[in-house]
Amino acid sequence: MHEPVLEQALPYALRAVQVRGAAAVATGRATAAEREDLEQEAFLGLWMALRHYDASRASLRTFLERVADKRFASLLRRRRSPFLIEPLDGHRFATADGIPAVQFHVDFERVLAPLDDPDRVLALLLVNHGPTEISRMLGVARSTVYARIARLRRAFLDAGYGPTATGGAR
């Protein structure tokens, strides 16, 4: 590996790692405390992958961005905690952080109560189906489903569910 490649790689590698570390914290996939460890592990992975860089296949920046994407995905996948799944009223609710399914069910109903019928129906369908499948089932555009999902997300955030300062869910 030539010295000019190392000098060019450093700013791209740092930026790629920092952006992905911030995104992991912002989306709640990692805590602020874990961010430095993730960034360090990803940076080391980038540095080791640099010897495989081939300028004829991609630019240095593109190479580092793709390696950073794969490295962060791998690191976050390894750190992900398993979900506890408990049956309740014929539905299976995934509860992270050990929230009992009964408590989750009560909170779920409380958050959905003030919403319109189409939003409540969508929330129940999202337990078992994806947005594209739901749009077909309801006969509405996917953009309509995503707009309703945004309203649901806002309702849950307003009720206190979502990323917290420590990166976990309530």
Mean pLDDT, 10 residues at a time, the chain of 170 residues: 67 88 85 86 85 87 89 80 48 53 68 84 86 87 90 85 55
**Strand, helix or coil for residue 133:** helix
* Full-model pTM: 0.44
Residue 160: other Cβ atoms inside 10 A: 11
pLDDT at position 87 is 46
pLDDT at position 88 is 45
pLDDT at position 99 is 54
pLDDT at position 33 is 83
Q: Where are the domains of the chain?
A: 3-79, 84-158
pLDDT at position 170 is 45
Whether residue 60 contacts residue 10, with contact meaning beta carbons closer than 8 Å, is answered with no
pLDDT at position 156 is 82
Q: Was domain 84-158 assigned CATH 3.30.930?
A: no
